[in-house]
Amino acid sequence: MTEPLLRVRDLKTYFVTEQGRGTARAVDGVSFEVQPGETLGIVGESGCGKTVTSLSILRLIPEPPGHVRPGSFIEFEGRNLLTLEPRELRAIRGNEIAMIFQEPMTSLNPVFTVGDQIAEAAIVHQGLGRAAARARAIEMLRLVGIPDPDERVDHYPHQMSGGMRQRVMIAMALVCRPKLLIADEPTTALDVTIQAQILELLDRLQAELGMAVMLITHDLGVVAGSADRVVVMYAGQVVEQAPTPELFARPLHPYTEGLLASVPRLDAPPAGARAGGRLHSIPGQVPAATAWPSGCRFHPRCPYAWDRCRAEEPPLLDAAGTGGTGPGSHTVRCWLLTEPRRRTPAPRP
Amino acid sequence: MSVWNWLALGGAAVVALAVVAEARRRALSGPRGRRFFRHPTAMPGTFVLAFFVTIAVAAPAVAPYPPYYQIDVVHPDQPPSVRFPLGTDPLSRDVWSRLAYGARISLGIGTLAMVVAVTLGAAVGAVAGYFRGSVDAALMRVVDVALAMPRIFVLLMAVALWEHLPLWVLVLLIGLTGWFGTSRLVRAEVLSLREREFVSAARALGARSGHIIFRHVLPNAAAPIIVSAALGIGNVMLLEAGLSFLGMGVPSPAPSWGNMIADGLPKMAVAPWSATFPGLAISLVVMALNAIGDALRDALDPRRETA
Amino acid sequence: MTPAALVQVEGLVKHFPGERRWFGLGRPRSVVRAVDGVSFAIPAGSTLGLVGESGCGKSTTGRAMLRLIEPDRGRVTIDGQDVLALGARELRALRRRMQIVFQDPYGSLNPRMTVRQTLVEPLAIHRIAIGREAERRIAALLEEVGLDPAFEGSYPHELSGGQRQRVGIARALSVEPQVLVLDEPVSALDVSVQAQVLNLLADLQARRRLTYLFIAHDLAVVKHIADQVAVMYLGKIVEHAPAPALYAGPRHPYTASLLSAVPVPDPTAQRQRIVLSGDVPSPAHPPAGCPFHPRCPHPKKNDRCRTEAPALREVTPDQRVACHFAEEPLQPS
Ligand SMILES: Nc1ncnc2c1ncn2[C@@H]1O[C@H](COP(=O)(O)OP(=O)(O)OP(=O)(O)O)[C@@H](O)[C@H]1O
Ligand SMILES: Nc1ncnc2c1ncn2[C@@H]1O[C@H](COP(=O)(O)OP(=O)(O)OP(=O)(O)O)[C@@H](O)[C@H]1O
Ligand code: SF4
Ligand SMILES: [Mg+2]
Ligand SMILES: [Mg+2]
C-alpha cells in the first residue's frame, strides 16, 4: 500500500455561534485518506460539513468564530498541516494543494483581468517573471478549453459566462500543477450541459497532470461518474466510505441507502409517480449543527433504528475486513453491521 | 434651588438609569437587542436620551422657577451657585429652569418634525419604488431639485414671509423640508424588495397594491426608516437651534435651547454659562441620538439576521 | 390542440428592453427575447414539464401566464376564459383559480410574517374565511402539506428549506386553485427533502385534480412527475412530447444532449455522453437560423441550419420538434 497523499484523522472543527445558541459542531471527528492520483468523492447534503472540512485542510477557517480542536490531525505528504508555520503553509496553499470554490461568480476579483489572476499564483509560488507568467496564463486557458486564449487573457470576469468563469477558476487552481485539487461543488451553480463539460475537463486534466482530486458534491450522479472512492458525510461525520462501485452496489449505511433511493433517476421507468410509484424519501430533515441527536446521529430518520442506536454512538465499523480507511476498505458508521438481521423490514414505501 | 428640586433631579437620573437597565434586560433576550447593546456607545447614548426626556417631562418638578420668570432686575448674569445651579441669563432668568423647560420644546420639535418627515418620506419613497416608471421619475426629480436647495435658506424664506410664526407651523415646515433623504432611502429599499418573491406571491394571490405596500414592503423596509429617523431627530434639533439662534425659530420668551444660546451670546465674554449650557445640552442629545442611530443600524441590519 | 385542455397558451411573447444608450434616454441597445412565441396546452388534472437551462425563459413563461409579468403578445386561456383580456378586478378574482409556487423557499415568504399570518392573508383577501373557520382551514392545510401545526406561530427563518416550501405550497392551495405553476419548487432543496416534496405534489394532484405547469432544469425530476414535457431553448420550445415518447426517443439534438448530460447515480452505466461545446448564447443576441446551431452536434448539420430557423412541427402524431432533421429519431439515452 502506497503512502497516502493526504491523511485526515479525527478532524473536529467547531464554531461558536451567537450567545445562547451553543457550539456548532460542523465537523466532528472526520477521518479519510486521499491516495496520489485518485479522485475521492465527498457527498452529503447541505450543512453536513463538506466545505468546512475542505477549508480546515487549508487552514482557512475564520477564527473566531471557528477553531480546529486539538487532537485533530491533517497530514499532507508526511507534514502535519495543523502545526506548520504560516510561511510554510503559504508555500503549500495554491501551490501543492489548490482549491476551487462553490461560487464561480464571487470567487474571482472583478477588478483584475483573468490573466492577471491566473498569473499571480505562478509569480508568487514559482518566481516567474511577468512575461513568463502571462505565457503560462495563456497556456492554462488553452488547457481548460477556453477559445482564443490570447485574447481572453485580457478579459475581466464580468465579460465571461458562468461556465467560462469556472474554467478560469480551474486554470487558476492548476497553474502551479498542484498534487491535490480540492473542488468544492465545482458544478453546482452551472447548467447540466456546462456541468458535463466541466466534469469532463476535470477528468481529462487529472489524467494529464496526474494529480489527486477531492471532489465535493451533493449529487450522487456526479460522484458515480467521476470518483474512484466515495466518502458519505452526515451531520459532521463520515457515515460510510467505500470504493465507488462497491458503494453504489452495496450501500450499507441506511442514510446512503435512502439517499440513493430518493434520487429521481433518468433510468427509472417513465412517469413513476403517476403510475402510482412514489419516490422513496427519507423522513424528517437534517438537524442543526448545534444540536446533533444523541446516539447515532441518523437515528431519528432511520427506518431500522432500535434502542442501541438511540443510546450509543456507533464507531466507523469495518465492512470489508481490510482495516483502515485506505483504498479497498469499506467502513460504515452503523450498528446494523453488528446485527445484520435487523435490516429485515424493508424501508418504508 | 430647593432640596425638593435636587431630589427631583436625582430622581430623574435614577429613572433614566432604570429605563436603560430595563431596556437592556429586555433586549438581551433577542439577537437584535444583543447586537444593539454590544455597540460601545449604545448604553451611554440611551442613558443621556432617557435623562433628558425625563427632565423634559418632569420640568415643573426639577426646575425651581417658571421658565419666563425674571428673578428681579438686579440678578442678571449671575454665575452658577447653589441658588442658580447654571447661573442666570442677561434677563436674570434661571438658566437651569429654562434648560429644563427648553428640553420640552427642543425635543418635542425634533420628534414631531421627524414624524412628519419620515411619514412623508416613507410614503413618497414607497410609491416611487413600488410603481416605478413615470411616477417614480416625476417624484424623484422633485426630490433631486429639493435636495439641491439649501434647507436653511428655504426655511428662512418661509419664516421671513410670516409675521408671528406659530410653533406648529415651524414644526410642519421643518418636517416638510426634511423628507427628501428618507424618501430616497426608502425608494432604494422598496425597489429591491418589490423584486423579492414574497411580493410576487402576494400579487399572485390577488392582493391590492396598497395592501402589498403596507403589509409586505414597508415592514421589511422598517430598519433603514427607523435608523434615519433616529439620526434625523438630532439634525432637526440642530436646525431648530440654528433658526432660533438667528431669531427666526421659536419666538422669545418661550425657551428653546437655540434661542437660549442666542440670548446668552452677546454676554459670552462676561457670562459664558448662559450660552454654554444649552449648547452643551444640544451637543449631548445629538451625540446620544447619533450613537443610538448607529447602534440601531447594526442591530437592524437584515444581513446579520441569521437563520 | 385537445379541446379538453384546461390551460391553453398560444404564441406567448415577452421581450425585455435592454440597457438604454445615453444615460437611459436613448433607444434600448438590445432586446432580451426572454419568451419568443411559446404555445402549449395542459389538459385538466395533468402535468406539463417545462425544462431548459438557466435563462431560457421558463420562469418568464410561467409568470407571464399568470400576468405577474405583462406579456407583449399571445393568448392565454384557462377554462375558456381569456386571461390577458381581464381588467384588474377580474384578474384578482382569477387569482383564485391559478397559483404559483416559487423556487426560492427563502425569498418567497415574508420574513416578518408567521406561518399563520402568511396563510390567513389569502383567505382574507378573497373573503374565503375568517376567525374560527380560517383557523380550521389553516389547520387542514398544514395537515395536508405535512407540516406540524406547532409551526403555526413560527417565522420563516425558524423553518428548514423543505418546511418553507411546504408553507409556500399551502399558501398557494389555500385559495383552492385549479392550476398551479410550480417554478422549480424542489431545485433549492436537499435530495432527501426533494423526494418528500415531489411525493407531496403528486399526492395533492391526485387528491385535488390539480393541473400543473412544472418548471425545472432537471430532466430526471421532470420524468418523475410530468405527463408531457416541453423543452425550451433561448425563449422557444424546441421539443414537445408526451413524457414516455420524449424520454425513449428524443428527436431534437438539444433534448438528446440534455438527457445525456444528466449524471446518473450508477457507476456501471455505460453511457455515451454527448458533451455540447460552448455556452448558451445570450437571449439578447440569439444566433441566426436555428438558435441551437452553434452548439449542435447533429451529424447532418448544414448551411440550412445556419440560415433558416426550423419551425416547431408535428413529426409524429404527438411529438413536435423544431429541427430540420427531426424525421429520424436520435439515439435514446
Ligand atoms: N462561520 C461559521 N459560523 C458558524 N457556523 C458555521 C460557519 N461556517 C459553517 N458553519 C456551520 O457548519 C455547518 C457545516 O457547513 P458547511 O458549509 O461545511 O456545509 P456543506 O456541507 O458545505 O453544505 P453546502 O452543501 O450547503 O455547501 C453548517 O451547519 C453551518 O451552519
Ligand atoms: N425583469 C427582467 N428584465 C430584464 N431581463 C429579464 C427580466 N427577467 C428575466 N430577464 C431575462 O430573460 C431571460 C429569461 O429569464 P427567465 O428568468 O425566464 O429564465 P429561466 O429559464 O427561468 O432561468 P432560471 O433557470 O435561471 O430560473 C434571461 O436572459 C433573463 O436575464
Ligand atoms: S446505527 Fe441505527 S439509527 Fe444509525 S443508521 Fe444504523 S440502524 Fe440507523
Ligand atoms: Mg459547501
Ligand atoms: Mg427561473
In the sheet that C81-82 helps form, which strands lie side by side, from edge to edge? C31-43, C5-17, C73-78, C81-82
We find that the CATH architecture of domain C5-233 is 3-Layer(aba) Sandwich (3.40)
CB C321 within 8 A of CB C251: yes
- What is the 8-class DSSP label of residue A185? S
Q: What mean pLDDT value characterizes chain A?
A: 85
Range picked from A227-241, B244-258, C145-159 for highest mean pLDDT: A227-241
Q: Which of A92, A106, A103 is nearest to A57 (CA)?
A: A92
From A23's Cα to the closest Cα of chain C, the distance in A is 18
Q: What mean pLDDT value characterizes chain C?
A: 86
CA distance A254 to A349: 14
Position A273 pLDDT exceeds 50: no
Beta bridge partners of A216: A42, A184
Q: Which of C22, C21, C20, C1 is nearest to C10 (CA)?
A: C1
Instruction: Give the pLDDT of residue A272.
Output: 47
Give the mean model confidence (pLDDT) for residues A150-179. Answer: 83
pLDDT per position as a tens digit, A179-195 = 999 998 888 777 788 88
Position B306 pLDDT exceeds 50: no
Beta strands in chain A (DSSP E): 6-16, 23-34, 39-43, 66-68, 73-76, 79-80, 97-100, 180-184, 212-217, 229-234, 237-243, 317-318, 331-332
CATH of the domain at B162: 1.10.3720.10
- Could you give the residue ranges of the DSSP H alpha helices within C177-218? 191-208
Q: Give the position, in ligand 3's atom list, of the atom nearest the Cα of A254.
A: 5
pLDDT per position as a tens digit, C235-273 = 999 999 999 889 888 999 999 988 888 888 888 876 667
Range picked from A259-263, B138-142, C9-13 for highest mean pLDDT: C9-13
CB A39 within 8 A of CB A102: no
- CB contacts, 8 Å: B34 with chain A: 18-19
Q: Which of C321, C224, B284 is nearest to A273 (CA)?
A: C224
- CB contacts, 8 Å: B306 with chain A: 18
Which amino acids bring their CB within 6 angstroms of ligand 2? C 16, 32, 34, 52, 54-60, 217, 283
CA distance B23 to B45: 13
Beta strands in chain C (DSSP E): 5-17, 31-43, 47-51, 73-78, 81-82, 98-101, 179-183, 211-216, 228-233, 236-242, 313-316, 319-321
* DSSP state string for C81-142: EEGGG--HHHHHHHTTTEEEE-S-TTTSS-TTS-HHHHHHHHHHHTT---HHHHHHHHHHHH
> Quick one: pLDDT band at residue A238, thresholds 50, 70, 90?
very high
> Quick one: pLDDT band at residue C18, thresholds 50, 70, 90?
low
Is residue B85 in a domain? no
CA distance B47 to B25: 14
CA distance A337 to A314: 10
Beta bridge partners of C15: C33
Find the Cα–Cα–Cα–Cα dihedral B146, B150, B154, B155, rounded to 10°.
120
Q: Which of A277, A285, A245 is nearest to A261 (CA)?
A: A277
Instruction: Give the pLDDT of residue C28.
Output: 56
CA distance C40 to C230: 8
Range picked from A296-300, B193-197, B204-208, C282-286 for highest mean pLDDT: A296-300
Angle at A100 between CA A97 and CA A103, to 5 degrees: 160
Instruction: Give the pLDDT of residue B124.
Output: 93
- CB contacts, 8 Å: C216 with chain A: none
B161 vs B143, more confident:
B143
Closest to B197 (Cβ–Cβ): which among C94, C95, C102? C102
Give the mean model confidence (pLDDT) for residues B68-72. Answer: 71
Site to probe by mutation for ligand 2, drawn from C35, C58, C234 as the one with most ligand atoms within 8 Å of Cβ, is: C58
Instruction: Specify burial of residue B175 (Cβ count, 10 A radius: 0-12, 13-18, 19+).
Output: buried
Is residue B227 in a domain? yes
Give the mean model confidence (pLDDT) for residues A35-61. Answer: 90
Instruction: Give the pLDDT of residue C17.
Output: 81
Q: Give the position, in ligand 2's atom list, of the atom nearest the Cα of C57.
A: 18
8 Å CB contact of A19 and B34: yes
Number of domains in chain B: 1
Is residue B81 in a domain? no
% of chain A beyond a pLDDT of 90: 26
Instruction: Give the pLDDT of residue B37.
Output: 83
Does residue A296 have its Cβ closer than 6 Å to ligand 3?
yes
From B20's Cα to the closest Cα of chain C, the distance in A is 27
8 Å CB contact of C112 and B219: yes
Angle at B269 between CA B267 and CA B274, to 5 degrees: 50
Position C280 pLDDT exceeds 80: no
Instruction: Give the pLDDT of residue B234.
Output: 83
CA distance A293 to A288: 9
Instruction: Give the pLDDT of residue A132.
Output: 87
Give the mean model confidence (pLDDT) for residues B238-262. Answer: 81
> Quick one: pLDDT band at residue C196, thresholds 50, 70, 90?
confident
- CB contacts, 8 Å: B198 with chain C: 107-111
Position A215 pLDDT exceeds 80: yes
Range picked from A337-341, B113-117, B265-269 for highest mean pLDDT: B113-117
Position B302 pLDDT exceeds 60: no
CB B199 within 8 A of CB B217: yes
Quick check: A120 contacting C, CB < 8 Å? no
Instruction: Give the pLDDT of residue B132.
Output: 85
Closest to C53 (Cβ–Cβ): which among A191, A274, A280? A191
Give the mean model confidence (pLDDT) for residues C301-322. Answer: 88
From C169's Cα to the closest Cα of chain B, the distance in A is 11
Is residue B247 in a domain? yes
| Among C residues 222-261, those touching chain A with beta carbons less than 8 Å apart | 223-227, 243-244, 247-248, 257-261
- What is the 8-class DSSP label of residue B215? I
Site to probe by mutation for ligand 1, drawn from A14, A15, A107 as the one with most ligand atoms within 8 Å of Cβ, is: A15
Is residue B76 in a domain? no
> Quick one: pLDDT band at residue C233, thresholds 50, 70, 90?
very high
Handedness of CA C172, C174, C175, C176 (dihedral sign): positive
Q: Which of B283, B254, B299 is nearest to B93 (CA)?
A: B254
Residue C147's identity, in one-letter code, is L
8 Å CB contact of B197 and C99: no
8 Å CB contact of C264 and A245: no
Instruction: Give the pLDDT of residue A104.
Output: 62
**CA of A292 relative to ligand 3 center, distance in Å:** 14
CA distance C276 to B171: 68
Instruction: Specify burial of residue C3 (Cβ count, 10 A radius: 0-12, 13-18, 19+).
Output: exposed
CB B105 within 8 A of CB B255: yes
Q: Give the position, in ligand 3's atom list, of the atom nearest the Cα of A342.
A: 7
Is residue B136 in a domain? yes
ipTM for the whole complex:
0.82
Closest to C267 (Cβ–Cβ): which among A191, A248, A278? A248
Q: Which of C37, C194, C144, C26 is nearest to A46 (CA)?
A: C194
> Quick one: pLDDT band at residue A11, thresholds 50, 70, 90?
very high
Range picked from A153-157, A337-341, C122-126 for highest mean pLDDT: C122-126
CB A196 within 8 A of CB C297: no
* B-C C-beta contacts closer than 8 Å: 66
The domain containing residue B116 runs over which residues?
A: 3-68+90-304
CA distance B189 to B183: 10
Q: Which of C250, C274, C253 is nearest to C262 (CA)?
A: C274
A54 vs B244, more confident:
A54
8 Å CB contact of A267 and C279: no
**CA of B273 relative to ligand 2 center, distance in Å:** 67
Give the chains touching A; criterion: ≥3 Cβ pairs < 8 Å: B, C
Closest to C262 (Cβ–Cβ): which among A164, A221, A285? A221
CB A265 within 8 A of CB C219: no
Instruction: Give the pLDDT of residue B301.
Output: 65
Is residue B82 in a domain? no
Which amino acids bring their CB within 6 angstroms of ligand 1? A 15, 17, 24, 26, 44, 46-52, 62, 65-66, 218, 289
Give the mean model confidence (pLDDT) for residues A204-208. Answer: 86
Q: Interface of chain B against chain C, CB under 8 Å?
A: 196-198, 200-208, 211, 215-216, 219-220, 302, 305-307
- What residue spans define the domains of chain C? 5-233, 250-333
What does the block give as the cell for C286?
A: 440569439
Does residue A57 have its Cβ closer than 6 Å to ligand 3?
no
Position C51 pLDDT exceeds 90: yes
pLDDT per position as a tens digit, B157-175 = 877 787 777 788 888 888 8
Position B193 pLDDT exceeds 60: yes
Within 10 angstroms of residue A209's Cβ, the number of other Cβ atoms is 15
Position A325 pLDDT exceeds 80: no
Q: Are strands A66-68 and A6-16 parallel, antiparallel or unpaired?
A: antiparallel
Instruction: Give the pLDDT of residue B303.
Output: 53
HEC readout, B80-122: CCCCCCCCECCCCEEHHHHHHHHHHHHHHHHHHHHHHHHHHHH
What is the pTM assigned to this prediction?
0.83
CB A214 within 8 A of CB A178: no
Rg (CA), chain A: 21
8 Å CB contact of C191 and A265: no
Q: In chain B, whose CA is at the least distance from the CA of A21? A: B31
pLDDT per position as a tens digit, C112-171 = 888 999 999 999 998 888 888 899 999 999 988 888 888 888 888 888 788 888 899 999
Position C291 pLDDT exceeds 80: yes
> Quick one: pLDDT band at residue B1, thresholds 50, 70, 90?
low
Position C61 pLDDT exceeds 90: yes
Q: Which has the minimum average pLDDT: A140-149, B142-151, C89-98, C179-188? A: A140-149
- CB contacts, 8 Å: A259 with chain C: 191-192
Position A348 pLDDT exceeds 50: no
CB B89 within 8 A of CB B264: yes
> Quick one: pLDDT band at residue A237, thresholds 50, 70, 90?
very high
Is residue B19 in a domain? yes
pLDDT per position as a tens digit, B173-183 = 888 888 898 89
pLDDT per position as a tens digit, A103-147 = 766 778 888 888 888 888 888 888 888 888 898 899 888 888 787
